[in-house]
Chains A and B, each alone.
Chain A
Amino acid sequence: MMLPLVAGLLFAYGGMVGLCQGMERNFKLVWQCEPSPLLRRALRMAGWGLLLASFASCVWAWGWAIGPVGWFGAISLAALVLAWLLPYQARIAVVFPVAGIPLWLLVWAVVG
């Protein structure tokens, strides 16, 4: 249960990073340059995709009845953590899921 659960949390966080960086202001805050419209759109799509993946992971971990409840909690807390980290460690906060998600999926593949 722990494996899909942590994956669900990481996906939720990654999704929120995608949505956040898909916004012009937040992107500029981190990278000090304008994002191209194409990049913005790609980031937003990736964000929604990851949120969907997070939903799947939560349902995997908890089942259909409970999973959605856990998913709401996960994405809420993920967004809050991101908003809290951004002013302090913007780049780490944004880049972390890029490394963290594949790493965890690898762990999952090896252990599970």
Chain B
Amino acid sequence: MKKQSFTQSMAWLHTWGGLLLGWLLFAIFLTGTLAVFDKEIDGWMRPEVPAYTGSQQDALQRAVDFLQVRHPNAPSWNINLPTERSSNLSVSTGEQRRGGGQLLDPTTGEPITARETAGGGFFFRFHFTLNMPRTIGIWIVGVAAMAMLVALISGIVIHKKIFKDFFTFRPGKGQRSWLDAHNASGVLLLPFHLMITYTGLVIFFLLYMPAAVDALYAGDRQAAIDDLRGGAVAQRAARAGAVNPPMADVPLAPLGPILTQAEAAMGPVGGLSIQNPVRSGARIEVRPVLGNRIELTKGRSMSFDGVSGAVLRAPDDSRPSLLTQRVMAGLHFAQFGGYPMRWLYWLCGMVSCGMIATGLVHFCIKRRRKYAEQSPASRRFHRLVESLNLAAVVGLSLACIGLLWANRLLPMQLPQRGDWEVRVFFIVWAAGLAHALWRPSLRGWVEQLVLLALLCLGLPVLSLATTSEVPWTDPVRLWLELTCVAMGAALLWLARKVALRAAVAQPAPRRAAMKLKEMHS
């Protein structure tokens, strides 16, 4: 092998590592960016739930009234309250489950049946499991994240003029422009790229780096987690002890003050569960919404006596080591700083997607001329890369918007409707791949981009046609649809640009062949 300079080997690493994992990384980044607004997308996917602007306290009272009538003897009640981001009020009894439960109309307290849907949570789950079995998915995403770190570092090394080209973007110059766009989006958002990739890895630290835990706790993960959390153990013990035989009926303490107190201690409340409701020994556990501080406060809660309303257990603070991990996880989940921060993360995530996409495109453009003169095998390889680029970038985007279309178009009574939505997602993606294999050229890009733009632009119309609600009754839905229209417009502009280029850059041999054909016909 020829001896290479350090920069050259870094360039090789950046090129091939970036290409092979870029397809996967684009999928992870795009779904992750969409997951920034998972609750909002979820709300859009359940149009039966009316928008709620009233107070949490009123909604809570309605939920308790409903449970008191329907399930007076249940051992425990769980209530998820509507929040700033979601109008869902849901109740369930018995063991606490994630999601599920009976949806209630938060303004009337009547039960409502919403359509079965994969929900906005699909993007969130796909982001870190790729819809595969959980552990396998997390490992693959972890490998991709490591590759992302490698690509970022090697990208810095091979960038010749980081500061000189800091503000440089030269459009309309073919290969140069794609590289400029890739560099600008990479360098200017480098803090974000590094932060989001690194914190993404830290979330599953126990899974990726189990050696220390295995050595210290002989592989007992639960023991390690309990030790880290400290307070959680006592909490679990208390919960186990709380299973008492049913006792005399005693009314619940007034919930208003409890809610206020919990909010003062932990920030906005997401839900609560009540053990032994309306009996002596009732115990109310209040959970905050995930993080309103940077620290990701999963599993945090505060307990109240259900009869007297006195505080039984204040929320515990994290130990420094766990706090570090939680702050990092929190930085990744962006559950703090309200909507402005959410939009900031969304925009930065979109730029990340753009950086990956422009990198993939640049790979092909740079080599297009070179491969055209090489052996049939390398031409075939190049064609395959072009196809996969198209399928990974536009095809996946089509699948994402296709999921939203499926949510409105699939028949309501379809059994396992939620699964079918996911199936549509993968069918659209596969169709995108088939189309890309068939037309791996600029024409193929134009066609898929136009379709994507139309699907984005058409979303409000579809929603208007299939649901009774007009979009402006619910600001969250309105924002989602406006954003979709804006993206559709931007994509249409991009498609036009690519179409113009496709008209100019029709490959020479093909044009000759076409001329020949014309002559013969």
Task: Report if A83-B337 is in contact (Cβ < 8 Å); known contacts: A69-B294, A74-B344.
Answer: no
**B3 in the interface (beta carbon within 8 A):** no
Q: Which residues of B contact A79 (CB under 8 A)?
A: 166-167, 188
**B174 in the interface (beta carbon within 8 A):** no
Task: Report if A62-B171 is in contact (Cβ < 8 Å); known contacts: A76-B192, A77-B347, A80-B184.
Answer: no
Q: Which residues of A contact B347 (CB under 8 A)?
A: 73, 77
**B99 in the interface (beta carbon within 8 A):** no
Q: How many residues of A are counted as interface, with CB atoms below 8 angstroms from the partner's CB atoms?
A: 28
Q: Which of the residues B169, B184, B191, B337 comes within 8 Å of A72, measured between beta carbons? A: B191
Task: Report if A80-B188 is in contact (Cβ < 8 Å); known contacts: A26-B167, A87-B170.
Answer: yes
**B31 in the interface (beta carbon within 8 A):** no
Q: Nearest Cβ distance between residue A52 and chain B, in whole angstroms?
A: 17
Q: Which residues of A contact B293 (CB under 8 A)?
A: 65-66
Specify the main secondary structure of chain A where it touches its partner.
Answer: helix
Task: Report if A80-B185 is in contact (Cβ < 8 Å); known contacts: A66-B341, A70-B341, A73-B345.
Answer: yes
Task: Report if A69-B341 is in contact (Cβ < 8 Å); known contacts: A25-B164, A80-B351, A82-B167.
Answer: yes
Q: Which residues of A contact B168 (CB under 8 A)?
A: 83
**A107 in the interface (beta carbon within 8 A):** no
Q: Nearest Cβ distance between residue A79 and chain B, in whole angstroms?
A: 4
Q: Which residues of A contact B337 (CB under 8 A)?
A: 62, 66, 69-70
Task: Report if A77-B294 is in contact (Cβ < 8 Å); known contacts: A72-B191, A72-B192.
Answer: no
Q: Which residues of A contact B184 (CB under 8 A)?
A: 80, 83-84
Q: Nearest Cβ distance between residue A69 and chain B, in whole angstroms?
A: 7
Q: Nearest Cβ distance between residue A20 and chain B, in whole angstroms?
A: 4
**A23 in the interface (beta carbon within 8 A):** yes
Q: Nearest Cβ distance between residue B74 and chain A, in whole angstroms?
A: 40
Q: Which of the residues B167, B336, B338, B351 comes within 8 Å of A77, measured between beta carbons? A: B351
Give complex CA distance A88, B169 in Å. 10
Give complex CA distance A16, B166 in Å. 10
Q: Nearest Cβ distance between residue B73 and chain A, in whole angstroms?
A: 45
B341 with A20: CB separation less than 8 A? no
Interfacial residues of chain A within 15-62, with CB under 8 A of chain B in the complex: 16, 19-20, 23, 25-26, 61-62
Residue among A61, A70, A72, A83 with max Cβ neighbours from chain B (10 Å): A83
A73 with B348: CB separation less than 8 A? yes
**A69-112 interface bits toward B, Cβ cutoff 8 Å, 1 = contact, 0 = none:** 11011101101101110111000000000000000000000000
Q: How many residues of B are counted as interface, with CB atoms below 8 angstroms from the partner's CB atoms?
A: 28
Interfacial residues of chain B within 313-365, with CB under 8 A of chain A in the complex: 331, 336-338, 340-341, 344-345, 347-348, 351
**B489 in the interface (beta carbon within 8 A):** no
Q: Which residues of B contact A7 (CB under 8 A)?
A: none
Q: Which residues of A contact B336 (CB under 8 A)?
A: 65-66
Q: Which residues of B contact A10 (CB under 8 A)?
A: none
Closest to A20 in B: B167
Q: Which residues of B contact A77 (CB under 8 A)?
A: 189, 344, 347-348, 351
Q: Nearest Cβ distance between residue A12 and chain B, in whole angstroms?
A: 11
A86 with B169: CB separation less than 8 A? yes
Give complex CA distance A6, B284 in Å. 41
Q: Which residues of B contact A70 (CB under 8 A)?
A: 337, 340-341, 344
Give complex CA distance A62, B341 in Å. 9
**B275-312 interface bits toward A, Cβ cutoff 8 Å, 1 = contact, 0 = none:** 00000000000000000011000000000000000000
Q: Nearest Cβ distance between residue A48 and chain B, in whole angstroms?
A: 14
Q: Which residues of A contact B (CB under 8 A)?
A: 1-2, 5, 16, 19-20, 23, 25-26, 61-62, 65-66, 69-70, 72-74, 76-77, 79-80, 82-84, 86-88
Which 9 pairs between the two chains have the least Cβ-Cβ distance? A73-B344, A79-B188, A20-B167, A83-B167, A76-B189, A80-B188, A66-B337, A83-B169, A72-B191
Extra 4 A-B pairs, beta carbons < 8 Å, given A61-B340, A83-B184: A72-B191, A80-B185, A84-B184, A88-B171
- Mind listing 28 A-B residue pairs with CB under 8 Å? A2-B340, A19-B166, A20-B166, A20-B167, A62-B337, A65-B294, A66-B293, A66-B294, A66-B337, A69-B331, A69-B337, A70-B340, A70-B344, A73-B192, A73-B345, A73-B347, A74-B344, A76-B189, A79-B167, A80-B189, A82-B167, A83-B166, A83-B168, A83-B184, A83-B188, A84-B184, A86-B167, A88-B171
